[in-house]
Amino acid sequence: MSKVDNEIRGRLALITGASGGIGSACARDLWANGASLALTYYNNRQPVDELAHELLKSPGSEGLRISCHKVDTGSAEDIERLFLEIKKQHGQDGPDILISNAGYGKRRTGILDVSLEEFDYMININLRASFILAKLSIPHMEAQKWGRIIFVSSIAAQGGGINACHYAASKAGLTGLMKNLAMKHAKLGITANDIAPAMIGETGMIPDAAFVEGTPGDVKNIPVGRLGTPQECANAVTMLCRTGYITGQSILLSGGLK
Ligand SMILES: NC(=O)c1ccc[n+]([C@@H]2O[C@H](COP(=O)([O-])OP(=O)(O)OC[C@H]3O[C@@H](n4cnc5c(N)ncnc54)[C@H](OP(=O)(O)O)[C@@H]3O)[C@@H](O)[C@H]2O)c1
């Protein structure tokens, strides 16, 4: 039997959308577990700079590195440039851990409100980006026979949530992509999973409970009676990184919402 290796200390984690609620919580948690970080932002540089500054000052971070990169995940060229920057700043061809989290949501009531341009835009950012990121990450992971790929999907992948059909399609596509990668790359030490959150507060998407009052995601309808937290998403992400026996799974974080 091959040796079990769930060590994430000293690994490099690439987290897209680290300027947002869930991405920044994942960055903190993986850093606390000893990972170096490559963090991306798009419009909001300041939160990522502040996060990097804070983490680098924290005790126990000797020998760890953080790099920050501006990336539009809708652009293949931007993602390719990101990998060149990672090579330059971390000395490796790709990350050991990929957290493809950057995403975009649009609340619309029905398919008739979604234009073709809007559909393509959503798919590029939420689904195509994860395909490109995984494709660029896997050669390094295969070479070292160790890798963790985690997509941030959504309850919308199963038909729930408050977003429109193109968001649901993009997130369901992520789950299909993840399951295929999990089966194809398991023998090479690479696991692939997704987390499927619903109604996570302290994020740009759901700033607070008042934001969703009167919608299907109203806190009144959530069995545990509250929004989820970015830290709870990060807990699941770190657990998946540290548990190589889990692959091909979508972990629903929804407070009991179906
Ligand atoms: N909050 C929820 O309840 C919930 C539920 C299910 C799934 N999710 C998923 O969780 C992920 C993180 O969202 P969040 O809830 O943490 O919301 P958030 O705080 O708004 O974060 C969104 C992140 O995505 C980045 N982003 C958006 N468009 C981008 C683009 N074109 N290129 C690169 N980065 C882009 C943003 O970067 P800038 O701010 O720098 O522009 C930001 O870092 C998303 O994939 C979302 O679909 C969230």
Which segments in the chain show pLDDT lower than 70?
Answer: 1-2, 108
Q: % helix / strand / coil in the chain, to the nearest 5? A: 45, 15, 40
Helix or strand or coil: residue 98? strand
Rg value, the chain, Cα: 17
What pLDDT score was predicted for residue 1?
A: 58
Return the pLDDT at 159: 86
Cβ of 154 less than 6 Å from ligand 1: yes
Q: Is 19 left (phi over 0), alpha (psi -120 to 50) or beta?
A: alpha
pLDDT for the residue 2: 66
> Would you state the pLDDT for residue 108?
67
- Residue 162 is predicted with a pLDDT of 83
- Best residue among 48, 104, 194 to mutate for probing ligand 1, ranked by most atoms within 8 Å of CB: 104
Q: Element (H or E) spanning 184, and its range?
A: helix 165-185
Assess whether 167 carries a catalytic annotation: yes
Determine the Cα–Cα distance for residues 92 and 110; give it in Å rounded to an integer.
45
Which of 42, 121, 167, 245 is labelled catalytic?
167
Instruction: Identify whether the C-beta of residue 27 lies closer than 8 Å to the C-beta of residue 113.
Output: no
CB atoms within 10 A of CB 190: 25
Measure the CA–CA gap between 81 and 76, rounded to whole angstroms.
Answer: 9
The ligand 1 atom nearest the CA atom of 217: 3
Q: Specify the pLDDT at position 209.
A: 93
Between the CA of 43 and the centroid of ligand 1 the distance, in Å, is 11
Coil, strand, or helix at residue 29?
helix
pLDDT score for 161: 73
Statement: the pTM of the whole predicted model exceeds 0.95: yes
The three-class DSSP label of residue 82 is helix
| Yes or no: domain 12-253 corresponds to CATH 3.40.50.720 | yes
> Exposed/middle/buried for 40, CB within 10 Å: 0-12, 13-18, 19+?
buried
Residue-wise pLDDT tens digits, 31-53: 999 999 999 999 999 999 999 99
